[in-house]
Chain A
């Protein structure tokens, strides 16, 4: 039983760390309808900035803030490339991701920085889950607040119907840049927390992040979209936790370890089709008909 608890806590911790990244991805992919591929890069940028600061004795919480600011910068560049230089959204993200690779290496000085003996946000006398949950919840609540303000409406509208926002006299280009900055800031923050959690930063730790983010969003939305009172940000958070659970499940089911990714996909497909259960009316009718026929003897 203790093992079960440990497992759940570990998955919950990873799920909540990545939930912050998922919130960031939600802003660009869902709200702004902008496929931002630079996320794999900015996740590492957050980790890199925070690690270097920690190795130089800076307060861990300040390091996290610095990571967030670095993410703002990355988002700004992507936005600038797209809005001011007219480069397509996909290409802008890719260019920044490529550029960040070199920048991250320069920031770190080498490709792997261990943090085993440094003070981190987890050096306080509280359980790491509390620290992580605090970061995740505060991020989510601040985002919820922002999206309910006039400025938030402008961001939502820019993704929903940019012509309408323009007709209000607002520069949608500025809104896009703002949203991209916020998104990458959150992703970088998640990266800085992850580096402190696993106690090392590695230039390759961003691999697969954008896929993780999208899968979590889709997971959360599909399962919970009929729960009308649930906010999309809550769905994204839960989606992240469920995604990490499914990875944990795949790893522990003792199946061939090389099939991890395939098994994860299968689990996700099952969960997604559960959300679309209304499509299986044919099967349902068949089952009902079969049972009904069986009882008439």
Chain B
């Protein structure tokens, strides 16, 4: 009997903790508009350097625009730890707490947020194709309560970079995780861009980090250079990819700069912190009263050329003067 009571007692403690916990982040409605504290929820799908950089950028941009955490801004940051069911729970929680805005980092978190609310503004970042994801009607006129910044890589610039650094390139391998929606979109895009520039794309598909070694082994004989899109799985193993390619004298061009620091040859690409800054500015606009429906989805026009000197040396590549002058070098 005692044990039964203990079980029921503990179950009730558990229930009340979670219910009370669910109440803890309600906005302070009694504040007047001058001293208004904005409550925003940030929903991120998983721990990842690029995504974390984007988040920092958002918070810094909001600060620049006058929304300072701890003063007039309360941030509730929740991480789904890779499980989509959790992304839904997080989004539902934010909606129930009637946050002033939800910031969603990566596609599944953005989709979950859009599902949870059609009223609260949702600002996304690190979503490569918001139209295919069903989040916006079009990039120019989102049309709903969702807008943000896309991390679509400026692929044409990047492929031109490849041609500048590796003039004889004909076959370009693209390595990506087949289950990352963003990556698949980029592969399709790559095929279109490559056709225009006279390159042939060789797809190198993997399902997890464990496949990378073998996949590269079979592909290396067949490609002149390798392109790494913004793919979470591949980027997290960039040292492995870079080393293997350097050994086999295959230049690696990546879509963002983190990979270059990890050993890839070069990128003309996105800096996720800058992407975050751009997203943060959009978020600030909305907090100041603009409607998401009218704010076009931002694309990062501002690209940075980053070249890895050590890798260039190992591959025996001479960097054209024109590129040297505007490049940022890393070792």
Contacts and interface: CB of A to CB of B under 8 A. Distances in A.
Contacts of B97: 3
Contact of B107 (A112, A205, A258, A260): A112
Interface stretch (A155-163, A180-188, A222-230): A222-230
Contacts of A227: 4
A251 B180 contact: no
Contacts, number: 172
B24 A114 contact: no
Contacts of A245: 14-15, 18
B89 interface: yes
Given A260-B81, A271-B10, A7 B93 contact: yes
Contacts of B7: 223-224, 226, 274-275, 277
A223 B14 CA distance: 12
Interface residues of A, number: 56
A198 B11 contact: no
Contact of B19 (A8, A18, A258): A8
Given A114-B111, A248-B18, A249-B21, A200 B134 contact: yes
Contacts of B179: 101, 105, 111, 203-204
B303 interface: no
A96 B38 CA distance: 48
A3 B26 CA distance: 8
Nearest to B129: A112
Given A204-B84, A205-B84, A246-B14, A111 B89 contact: no
B181 A244 contact: no
Interface in A190-238: 194, 197-200, 202-205, 207-208, 212, 223-224, 226-227
A275 B17 CA distance: 18
Contacts of B25: 252, 254
Contacts of A7: 19, 22-23, 92-93, 96
A249 B17 contact: yes
Given A10-B96, A198-B115, A251-B93, A205 B22 contact: no
A252 B93 CA distance: 8
Nearest to A104: B179
B89 A10 contact: yes
Nearest to B108: A202
Interface of A: 3-4, 6-8, 10-11, 14, 18, 101, 105, 110-112, 114-117, 194, 197-200, 202-205, 207-208, 212, 223-224, 226-227, 242, 244-249, 251-254, 257-258, 260-261, 267, 270-271, 274-275, 277-278
